[in-house]
Every structure is written in C-alpha cells, then in structure tokens.
Amino acid sequence: MSVAKLRELLELKVVVVHPPDEEGAALIGHMRRIGCLVSSVWPMPTAPANNTDVLFLLIDGEERAATTAFLKALPQPRPTVIAIVNYEDPGTLQMVLESGALAVVQKPIKPLGLLATLVTARSLWTERQALAKENRKLRRKILSDQTISRAKTILMVTRQLDEAAAYQTIREQAMAKRVPMDDIANSIIHMESLLKSSA
C-alpha cells in the first residue's frame, strides 16, 4: 500500500451506524487503531454527520424505513458506504444495493480484512468521483459544442458565412471580450430568438 493511501486513512472521518454492543465497539476500536477519526451513532439517525468520509452502516430489515430516509439525506457526493450485514437474504441484499455500498462486512465483525475492505471501498469511491467529474466535464463540452454549432448555423444563415468564418467570428468576439466562446454563442442564439419573436 502506498504511503499516500496510508496517510489518507489517518485523515478519514468514519461514522459507524451500529448499536453500541461488543461488535460495534470492536469495529470502532479497530478503525481507531488504523488511525481514522471515528464516531458512532445509534439508533439510525435522521441525517448524517457533517464531513463524513466513510460510513459503516448496519443493514437491518427492521430499520428499512429509517435506513432509506437516512440514505436519502446523505449529501452529494455521498460518503463511502460500507454495509454491515447479519444475513444474505434477498431483502438484505436489496437494501445493500439501494444503499450504494461499495463494500460489505459480514457479522460477526472480525478485525481481519477490515483494513482491506476500507482501502478497497475508498479506492472505488475515489475512482467513481473521478469518473463523475470527467462525465460532468464531457457533458459541459458537448453542451458547449452544441451551443457553438447552433450559433455558427445562425451566423452562416444570417451573414452568409461559411462554417470556418462563422467559427472564427465567434472566436474573435470571445477573445476580444475575454469570455468563453459559449458566452458569445449564447448571446448570438439569444439575439436571434429576440429577432424572431419581434418579427
């Protein structure tokens, strides 16, 4: 494991949603030995603690409504969720899937494997965040390209320009005003819609 990953563990704020019994205490103790900043809560809270990085969440069919409400209250991006399960029945597995858990810890909780589970879940969470960021970036790029394309079409029709000249016009205006090209493209689209509505 890299030094950076180990350092990250020392800074993680872990919340354990589990009854204050022997297993809950053992889990909390092990997370503290790893170096995480740990707090625990039970019964199921209505809202999460602020700045939670990792959430160990007991999945219990009797707490389904409270668990669902709690999960809906999680901020975006959600913390790394690690489910704690007693059983592997269909209802429990459905709740695990609905929770968005990136890992599962089986009861009785044993220290062996908890570090690997934590590191794996956190790595998956980091990868998901990077993919989500890249996805947002690509969506913005596609929207920007569509906006610029629409503005180019307007300029090509209204000013009888070819595509390259229309693009160059948008680019030059953006550079002159020191704004993104989509701002100029949006202005062109807006002006065209105003002209259409007043005609």
**For the segment 146-168, what is each residue's pLDDT rounded down to a tens digit?**
999 999 999 999 899 999 999 99
Q: How confident is the model at residue 193 (pLDDT cuts 50, 70, 90)?
A: confident
Which DSSP helix (H) or strand (E) runs through 41? strand 37-41
As a whole number, mean pLDDT of residues 52-59 equals: 94
Q: How many residues are listed for the chain in this entry? A: 199
Q: How confident is the model at residue 61 (pLDDT cuts 50, 70, 90)?
A: confident
As a whole number, mean pLDDT of residues 20-26 equals: 91
As a whole number, mean pLDDT of residues 177-189 equals: 92
The pLDDT score that the predictor gives to residue 3 is: 67
Helix, strand, coil % over all residues of the chain, rounded to 5:
60, 15, 25
Report the topology of domain 3-112: Rossmann fold (3.40.50)
3-state DSSP assignment of residue 59:
strand
The pLDDT score that the predictor gives to residue 2 is: 64
Q: Is the dihedral of CA 159, 161, 165, 167 positive or negative?
A: positive
As a whole number, mean pLDDT of residues 28-54 equals: 89
Q: Could you tell me what percent of the chain has a pLDDT over 90?
A: 62
Query: For the residues of 143-190, what is the DSSP string, one character each?
Result: HHHHHHHHHHHHHHHHS---HHHHHHHHHHHHHHHTS-HHHHHHHHHH
Cα(93)–Cα(77) distance, rounded to whole angstroms? 23
Q: Does the domain made of 136-198 have the CATH classification 1.20.1250.20?
A: no
Whether the model pTM is above 0.85: no
Share the mean pLDDT of the chain.
89
Is the pLDDT confidence value at 199 over 80? no
The pLDDT score that the predictor gives to residue 135 is: 94
Is the pLDDT confidence value at 1 over 60? no
In this structure, the strands spanning 80-85 and 103-106 are: parallel
Give the contacts of 101 (CB within 8 A, at least 6 positions apart): 57, 59, 81, 82, 83, 121
Radius of gyration of the chain (CA): 26
What's the token pair of residue 48?
A: 């999460």
For the chain, the domains span 3-112, 136-198
pLDDT for 85-124, tens place per residue? 998 888 889 999 999 999 999 998 888 888 989 999 999 9
Is the pLDDT confidence value at 64 over 80? yes
Query: Torsion angle of alpha carbons 159, 165, 168, 174, nearest 10°?
Result: 10
3-state DSSP assignment of residue 15:
strand
The pLDDT score that the predictor gives to residue 197 is: 75
- Identical fold for domains 3-112 and 136-198, yes or no, is no
